[in-house]
Amino acid sequence: MEEKLILEDGIEVEQVYRRPETLTDVPYHYCPGCSHSVVHNVLMEVVADLGIQEQTIGVAPVGCSVFAYHYMNVDMQEAAHGRASAVATGIKRVMPDKLVFSYQGDGDLAAIGTAETIHTANRGEIYWLFLSITEFTE
């Protein structure tokens, strides 16, 4: 991926990072220090590297996680608060050939969505679940 770039002032530099096509070309709006943008980048880089963009479907619930559809260039479905595991399960059962993931914040997954998450794991449903913890306290 490295290539030489010539800046306006004639300086030659190596480009070591390029936004993958799996991320939309819009600036993030998240708060400074928030982990959402980092998780978006890493997750979509993996999707691009594996070449699975067309097979991938994401599920994001309310809260800051819901904005994932604005940044991730894959098929996305919104879910009610705490219900992303249930929605992802439904999508995976209807379309078993798709690679399904849920992208949830700590309040959604570990608070209101605890029951759905535990039951999904207990049933052995096959999909990826990503938790983004966005706030740390001392």
Instruction: Tell me the average confidence (pLDDT) per consecutive run of 10 residues in the chain, 138 residues long.
Output: 72 82 91 85 94 96 88 96 93 96 88 90 89 65
Q: What is the pLDDT of residue 111?
A: 87
Q: What is the pLDDT of residue 8?
A: 75
Q: What is the pTM of this model?
A: 0.83
> What CA–CA distance (Å, rounded) separates 102 from 14?
35
Shortest CA distance to 78 belongs to which of 45, 102, 96, 95?
102
Topology of domain 26-132 in CATH is Rossmann fold (3.40.50)
> What residue spans define the domains of the chain?
26-132
Q: What is the pLDDT of residue 65?
A: 86
Q: What is the pLDDT of residue 34?
A: 82
